Structure 1
Amino acid sequence: MIHLTLIIVDFLTGLLAAGAWALASAGGAIAAVVGGGFLGLSMVRRWRRKR
């Protein structure tokens, strides 16, 4: 019975770690998209001022 409990705990810990990794990856991707959008917008504004 102890082995089964350890397997379940190990499985849940793995799920928690995978969920945290997925959340961090998604957060990084979202931050990159938002940052890229702001950078692109500022570059377009600078380009319009020069013309």
Structure 2
Amino acid sequence: MIHLTLIIVDFLTGLLAAGAWALASAGGAIAALVGSGFVGFSLFRKWRRRQ
């Protein structure tokens, strides 16, 4: 019975770790998109001001 409990706890811990990793990956991708958009917008404004 203890073995079954350990297997279930191990499985749930793995799911939690996988979920946290997926969330961190998605957060990193969203931050990269927002950052590149901000840099692009800044460069576009600088280019428009120069003309």
* TM-score under structure 2 length normalisation: 0.97
Query: Equivalent pairs: percent with the same residue?
Result: 82
* TM-score under structure 1 length normalisation: 0.97
Equivalent residues, number: 51
Gaps of 5+ in 2: none
Give the match for residue 16 of structure 1: 16
Gaps of 5+ in 1: none
CA drift of 1:47 comes to 0.5
RMSD: 0.4
- Alignment partners' CA distance in 2, 1:4 and 1:49: 67
Give the match for residue 38 of structure 1: 38
Which runs of at least 4 in structure 1 moved beyond 6 Å after TM superposition? Answer: none
CA drift of 1:15 comes to 0.1
